[in-house]
Structure 1
Amino acid sequence: MVRSKELSEAFRKKIVDVYESGKGYKKISKELVISHSIVQKIIYKWRTFKTTANMARSGCPSKFTPRADRKMLKDVSENPKISSRDLQQAFATVYAT
């Protein structure tokens, strides 16, 4: 399933403003041409956290930089039969601190 792009914070604030004016989820969704479940989730987040901004997501940050990812993909595409140990040693020599 493809993830859609996030709504802008200004648009989410607009949804909250329309909700505060007294309209329900279905009327807001028809007026702004978005799903009523999205409206419901935005209002729930606003009620719970008093914000419409993006919040931190769970998960560890990546150990590799985008540059290191590209280098690793290049090495593997040039030599598909390279072992993981050899790839680690190549990275240790290139990215040694």
Structure 2
Amino acid sequence: MEREENKLTTKRLRRAELQLLETTEELNTMKKAYEELMTNYNAILRLDSKRHRQNIRADGEEIAALVVLKDKLLAKDHEVETQRHKIVELEKKLWKLELV
């Protein structure tokens, strides 16, 4: 009986570890995408600033790409925060299983 419980606990632990690994990999992928978006966003900001200094565009007008990147960055921020929350929850589960 105890042996079966140990096997079941070991399986649960392994499943939690795999889920943690997958979620961590997913988070890392999102971080890379986020960094790329930030690079693009900063490049657009520099262009926008340069154009503004040269009075190429009217005051108050925003570049459409800048608005889109802002939205994408906000969405990625939200995704990253969600993944961080998942990792914390999985780590809590993992610790509970290890303590059993």
TM-score of the superposition, structure 1-length normalised? 0.29
Flag the structure with more relative contact order, 1 or 2, with Cα contacts below 8 A and sequence separation at least 6. 2
TM-score of the superposition, structure 2-length normalised? 0.29
Q: Which has the higher helix share?
A: 2
